[in-house]
Amino acid sequence: METIGSIVFAGIAPHPPIMVPEVGHESVAEVRDSLAAMSEFTSRLISSGAESVVIVSPHAPLDPTGFVAYQSPTLYGDFANFRAPKTVIEARLDEELLKAIYEEAQLGHYEVLGLGDCDLDHGTLVPLYFLQHNGWHGRVVALGYSFISNEDHLRFGACIAHAAIRIGRPVALVASGDLSHRLKPEAPAGFNPNAHLFDEQVVLALRENAPERIISIDQELRRIAGECGYRSILVALGAVKNQPSSCEVLHYEAPFGVGYLVAQLINVKSAGVHKEERDEKESASQADDNELPSLARAAVESFVTRGLTPHHKEPAGVLAARAACFVSIKTANGDLRGCIGTIEPQQDTLQEEIIVNAVSAATRDPRFTPVTVNELSHLRFSVDILSAAEPANLSDLDPAQYGVIVEDVSGDRRGLLLPDIAGVDTVTKQVEIAKRKAGIQIGEPVRLSRFRVDRFREE
């Protein structure tokens, strides 16, 4: 994965001023594990190569209909409101990145309101304090979220990702926020016996590397928890939606009745390491290249002849992984007979993904009539396993090597074209076809992502 001009690190950081030693004094002993986690958090951010950091805070002067951004050339704040006026934080504003965010937000029909001579809020100051004290000294964009919909926060996150691509600089994103404020009777927002469920769902989703589950957390549970980090996290999830997750909970605790979470969402460095480890394990346990299309064939033959999907043994190796795939069916002459797939995995394993998509390709492709029993022996199957998509510019595309995903600026219409398709020999042609599939008109602005495929064909 390329690291130039993209989000290379994203994570969640707590922001209680009591964690700052000059504020918390002896109370810091109760959060020493969170301090250690913030040190590790910063180390990973630095190693990712990020040159700028975007911090999204819930405590900026918020606007109900738009996002906000501190715009002073030198960002400044102190902890005077927490009896530590001499503890001062300063950082240079990344004006180029902020301008790109403004422009991408405008394309998405979002307003970003500038905050003039305004001191940083503690939701920005606390994470920035730990970044600087642990060795990171780069440019910063400080944002505040809004009160518009959750979906809009996800889409605004995507605007930040595309702004990073626009300026060609590796960027980190920090979602500042605490989890439940109602975990103990002495908690600042009072006590609710069910508040802990919110924290547990967030933490479990990250530990199982399934951050998308956070998006669907019950909104009433959010209200019960009295959290202040959820929308910041949504922005971060929107920014990294097209990148492989490498979630890790560095630490979670709730010493004062408030949930403090330090976590990683993505890290291009660790994602690369994990991918190498996965590749080694998969190559050791993978069967021959014919196994995947044979599975697709068996699924279709079973469904067409008996109306049933086949029962298979417990998957192993690559079939046990979770991945998106396309199943293509062609005639003996090479004519397409059906093709259905998923951009993101929908099933628990690749084995199940192939079975479901194979049956759909044979029976539910709207371009063709369902496959019949008499055709089965004359058909050929192939399976394309998709890598995670990554944001791209036109210059990053190559129809021979990369598939492309195009989506309109609202994210409502999306089209995909696989790589290495006969007759699709230019980037322009590839993008135009993907636009037509999405129902996007020529000339409409679009966002592009690219992906690779591992293709398995029947012998």
Give the DSSP per-residue string, 318-336: GGGS---EEEEEEETTS-E
Q: Does pTM top 0.85 for this prediction?
A: no
The pLDDT-based confidence of 4 (bands split at 50, 70, 90) is very low
Per-residue pLDDT, 289? 64
The pLDDT-based confidence of 338 (bands split at 50, 70, 90) is very high
The pLDDT-based confidence of 261 (bands split at 50, 70, 90) is very high
C-alpha to C-alpha distance for 417 and 138, rounded to whole angstroms: 38
The pLDDT-based confidence of 70 (bands split at 50, 70, 90) is very high
In eight-state DSSP terms, residue 63 is: B
C-alpha to C-alpha distance for 203 and 114, rounded to whole angstroms: 33
pLDDT in tens, 282-308: 343 344 568 899 999 999 999 999 888
Catalogue the E-assigned strands of 226-304: 248-253, 260-267
The pLDDT-based confidence of 116 (bands split at 50, 70, 90) is confident
Per-residue pLDDT, 322? 81
pLDDT in tens, 365-407: 999 999 999 999 999 999 999 887 788 888 889 999 899 999 9
* Mean pLDDT score across all residues of the chain: 90
CB proximity list for 165: less than 8 A, separation 6 or greater: 5, 6, 391, 392, 393
pLDDT: is 289 or 61 the higher one?
Answer: 61
Does residue 414 surpass a pLDDT of 80? Answer: yes
Per-residue pLDDT, 453? 87
* Side-chain half-sphere CA neighbours of 353 within 13 A: 25
Per-residue pLDDT, 276? 41
Q: What percent of the chain has pLDDT over 90?
A: 73
Tokens representing 263 are: 């976590």
Which residue shows structure tokens 């989000």?
7
Number of neighbouring beta carbons within 10 Å of residue 279:
12
C-alpha to C-alpha distance for 275 and 438, rounded to whole angstroms: 31
Per-residue pLDDT, 270? 63
* Cβ–Cβ < 8 Å for 95, 148: no
The domains located in the chain, with CATH, are 7-274 (3.40.830.10), 286-385 (3.30.700.20), 387-459 (3.30.1490.150)
Does residue 275 surpass a pLDDT of 60? Answer: no
Tokens representing 148 are: 């518009």
Does residue 459 surpass a pLDDT of 90? Answer: no
Per-residue pLDDT, 451? 87
